A and B are shown apart, each in its own frame.
Chain A
């Protein structure tokens, strides 16, 4: 747990305009009260079970295991409603929003996955929903824009800065400071100012808690390691939270390496960034010599963020978890491997965790049991995959674009 002011060691805290401190205090009070309230917890669990389809399955991937030389257990978050782990966080925060008697929700989104999940939860709870999305991302992810609008959300293009995820967060924060009386900011990852990192972890930690029980049930003992991809780090912190106390379980986070972190075009903040402050929290980030935020690069939009949650920074510094960079090419290769061996197309984000398996095998030896968070499904990534692997003719793509 962080200290009372939300610090994980020297990371975390609150670097926010004073205007938002009282609302953050209020949010923290409601969250703490909710987590201690049996009725809230029961409502949350019921939602997860009956609406989101949880607990997600633990699946032993035998053919993949053969291919990689270790026993791989997949936590199937890709089968959740809306196709990723993110539904856990948004249902928790949306339920909390109703307890705070707020009627309006804002959110940022990069690839659109958190935006779609937020729009889903808002439709379910009948809350007004506004999603900020970089203009560049809106073009790249037009289908998710349509999904959000189908669900009744208003999608506002962000035209400032680099016009991507970090600028969408800036714009959401500007909205929040202006409308905080009736508005909850549903941050999509375990970053931002306290209490967001701890709160998002708590709403997401079902991944690890369920997987721990499922692994014990299946194996009779704990896995050797738990693996997850890390952008802002919500699925990873949700997975790790279940195992932090189990010292025998090694924790591995895999950051997006883009063209390779040594090229400078990447999103590997822990591997190759420096400590600094962004979006309300102290953590590792990509920045230049003057502390100006640098643009991140990754084939995976969900990991394409120049910061990382503060608890990950702390887990890295204390050595409890190990963070490694996975390049676009490694991730795409792992995506194809899972598709061909198991008939499961993972999200490119999750493919980064799969791509980390050989390195962990090299660390721990063969024939160990590795738990991998399959955080999302790859349907949304088929355009990217089709281009990467040349799955369709250029002519077909052109024809499809013309039809659109």
Chain B
């Protein structure tokens, strides 16, 4: 069993959902993002998702777009992402989330090697579908990396089957039709999507897009195996003027979300 699956299984055994936290590498700086990731794990994140900042993030809303722009303007390189992974992987299972072109440019097999060497356990690929992923699947399998593909409310049953078969670790279910970013309303499409995924696979299902509060995390934890939070964490950091306050705000929010995935609402 991979470390992603065993981590999620351990959470299940404890009667709760796992908490997955996303932060972009290099935001606000490479060193700064390492400290933030460490704080996030200490505050209760089970699995870390390190974002590779990209110039054209079509799946991301304004919060993560702005963070990626800051990271790139600060000179963050692909190699820096592996540094953040290395620091994070010492503390918790860590995956990278990246749009596809930076992987191709780095070299698909080389990317898999560097990710594995840094201690990373998998890759989330928001703009790569299994049909286009042949080389990546081979490279990932050679290094024992998990391949986390996305499913969406619009996915047909045939596509859910296809995507499940190509995936390992967990399936990333996007709760809404849209981009990343906090939403006031919880998704009504997410429970139905998770139910449909569960019909075709035994893989755990993580739900992301729009979760920002303890209450929302608790709602999602009712039907998902993992709750994925990204924009809300970035937003918490972005709202603070100095690093100490950003660290504190991030820690407080993660602690709150960790209570949410345990259904502790009071």
Contact = CB atoms under 8 A, between A and B. Distances in A.
A108 B77 CA distance: 29
A21 B102 contact: no
Contact of B174 (A18, A173, A274, A275): A18
A10 B126 CA distance: 21
A123 interface: no
Closest 8 CB pairs of A and B: A291-B105, A19-B152, A291-B102, A178-B178, A22-B154, A291-B101, A292-B55, A173-B58
B184 interface: no
Nearest to B160: A18
A291 B105 CA distance: 5
Interface in B87-122: 100-106
B175 to A, nearest CB: 11
- Greatest chain A CB density within 10 A among B69, B102, B104, B127 is at B127
Given A18-B151, A174-B61, A276 B179 contact: no
B179 A178 contact: yes
Contacts, number: 116
B177 A180 contact: yes
Given A173-B58, A180-B154, 4 more contacts: A17-B59, A18-B155, A18-B174, A167-B56
23 contacts: A13-B132, A14-B129, A16-B129, A17-B150, A17-B174, A22-B152, A22-B155, A160-B65, A160-B69, A161-B56, A174-B58, A174-B61, A174-B178, A178-B177, A178-B178, A180-B154, A287-B101, A291-B78, A291-B104, A292-B54, A292-B102, A293-B55, A293-B101
B58 A17 contact: yes
A161 B69 CA distance: 7
A160 B61 CA distance: 10
B128 interface: yes
A289 interface: yes
Contact of B153 (A5, A19, A278, A290): A19
Size category, A interface: 35 or more
B104 A276 contact: yes
Contacts of B59: 17, 174, 177
A18 B105 contact: no
A161 to B, nearest CB: 7
Interface of B: 54-59, 61-62, 65, 69, 72, 77-78, 100-106, 126-129, 131-132, 149-156, 159, 163, 174, 177-179
Contacts of A291: 54, 78, 101-106
Contacts of A167: 56
Nearest to A160: B65
Given A22-B154, A22-B156, A22-B159, A17 B127 contact: yes
Contact of A21 (B55, B129, B178, B179): B129
Nearest to B78: A290
B101 A276 contact: yes
Contact of B72 (A22, A275, A279, A292): A292
A15 B179 CA distance: 16
Given A170-B57, A177-B179, A180-B177, A18 B163 contact: yes
A242 interface: no
B61 A19 contact: no
Interface string A253-279: 000000000000000000000111111
A157 interface: no
Nearest to B72: A292
B105 A170 contact: no
A289 B55 CA distance: 13
A5 B104 contact: no
A292 B99 CA distance: 10
Nearest to A277: B101
Contacts of A276: 101, 104-105
- Greatest chain B CB density within 10 A among A13, A16, A277, A279 is at A277
A71 interface: no
B179 A18 contact: no
A166 interface: yes
A18 B208 CA distance: 14
